[in-house]
Copies of this chain bind each other. A is one copy, B any other.
Amino acid sequence: METIIEKFLEIAIILIAAKFGAEIMRRINQPAVIGELVIGIIIGYYGLGLLPHFKSGDVVSTLAEIGVILLLFEVGLETNLDEFIELGSTALLVALIGVVAPFALGFGSIFALGLGGENQFEVALFVGAAMTATSVGITARVFGDLGALKSKEAKTIIGAAVVDDILGLLILTVVAGVLGSSGDFSLVDLGVISAKAIGFLIAVVIIGRKLSKPIFNFFVKIPSPGTFVTGSFIFAMLLGAAAHFVGLHPIVGAFAGGVVAGESGMTHRIREEMKPLNFLLVPIFFVYIGSEVNIQTLASLDVFLYGMLVSLLAFVGKYVSALGAMGKGLNTSLIGIGMSPRGEVGLIFVAVATTTLSEVITADIISIIIWMVIVTTVIAPILLNRILQKVPLSERDDDERFESPVVE
């Protein structure tokens, strides 16, 4: 019983801290996810020590992983396949530049600075990959709060951010696969893992589009109470596990599962019934990541300075993605800044580095990435707020207030 009570208290401490961090951020108009991460750093093992060092398979780390599965499932759920396919060339171009530019800047700078030690190439690859992330949730929230979600700028950013989500997951999968594989980097590995990832996504989406409706209809038809929410949960978990078995990260499967579930025509019900689960488990993921961060490393001068440099490059890399929207009468500053927050997607890279790549990615590098995530995520809403309050937009929302599905 003693052990179980310990777990109860760990979970309670994490949830109280998460709510505290989220509420403080809300009051200063910052994303909740930053509050959850920072409070995790403060109370964590290397900080105040209110939490132990979690091992893989512990209750808290498992709940955190379930949290990130549910998060990606929800991101997938909100990704409309048809809209995605019909996505304009503008958003697609923004997305592509927004992946290539930050990756090049990240890879180049880490390599040039020689920060990776003996694993220079791999580390540069990973940091570059982490810089490709874009958090659609955070930008959508800021635009929504200012009633600007229906502007063409917002639609362009959100479309591009969704593409970046998918590309980012693919890059993460490939890079993690390459780094995790024994021996040196090889183009064959790269090819095999890319093919697997893309093949898996395509297969799940093609098969899933056909099976999604019957599967969720089946959940609806079983009268035992709770079947629908339990079924949706199992669906997300099993797709996560399936991705693992073909050698991908479970979140790729959860994302694909979400996309497929969104095709069932029951998106609203799935989202509503899963909400309390997400409310509880997603913040556990962010506090957990924070709690594993070595606060001393994070606060060391070297790491801080490198962190600021990488943050700047990360910002610039996304800012130039707005070039893809030039000459369309859109506010390119707005688009460039809107693409820059890494938010929860950046933290998924941190989690993967912490849990499965810690032999290659050192605590210093992880801390640099965390600085990059924090700075880009905190700065973007501040700048967006300023610009949005001054600039006339192509279109304003009337009454609809967007509720970010993800990072709440």
Contact = CB atoms under 8 A, between A and B. Distances in A.
Contacts of A225: 279, 403, 408
A279 B229 contact: yes
A15 interface: yes
Given A19-B224, A224-B32, A5 B230 contact: no
A259 interface: no
Interface string A224-252: 11110111011001101100100001100
Contact of A6 (B32, B57, B69): B57
Interface in A51-82: 56-59, 61-63, 65-66, 69
Given A12-B234, A32-B224, A230-B19, A61 B250 contact: no
A32 to B, nearest CB: 6
B279 A234 contact: no
A223 interface: yes
Contacts of A63: 59
A207 interface: no
Interface string A1-41: 10111111101100110110011001000001000000000
A329 interface: no
Contacts of A234: 12, 15-16
A265 B225 CA distance: 25
A215 interface: no
B59 A57 contact: yes
Contacts of A69: 8
A12 B276 contact: no
A222 interface: yes
A274 interface: yes
Query: Which of A1, A275, A280 is packed against the most chain B CB atoms within 10 Å?
Result: A1
Contacts of A237: 8, 11-12
A326 interface: no
Contacts of A113: none
B280 A244 contact: no
B12 A222 contact: no
Interface in A370-384: none
A22 B231 CA distance: 13
B356 A1 contact: yes
A136 to B, nearest CB: 17
Contact of A7 (B57, B238, B355): B57
Contacts of A250: 1, 4-5, 8
B277 A224 contact: no
Contacts of A23: 222-224, 227
B57 A229 contact: no
Given A226-B278, A226-B408, 17 more contacts: A1-B355, A4-B61, A4-B62, A8-B237, A11-B66, A12-B241, A15-B230, A18-B230, A26-B223, A226-B275, A226-B283, A229-B280, A230-B279, A230-B280, A273-B276, A276-B276, A276-B277
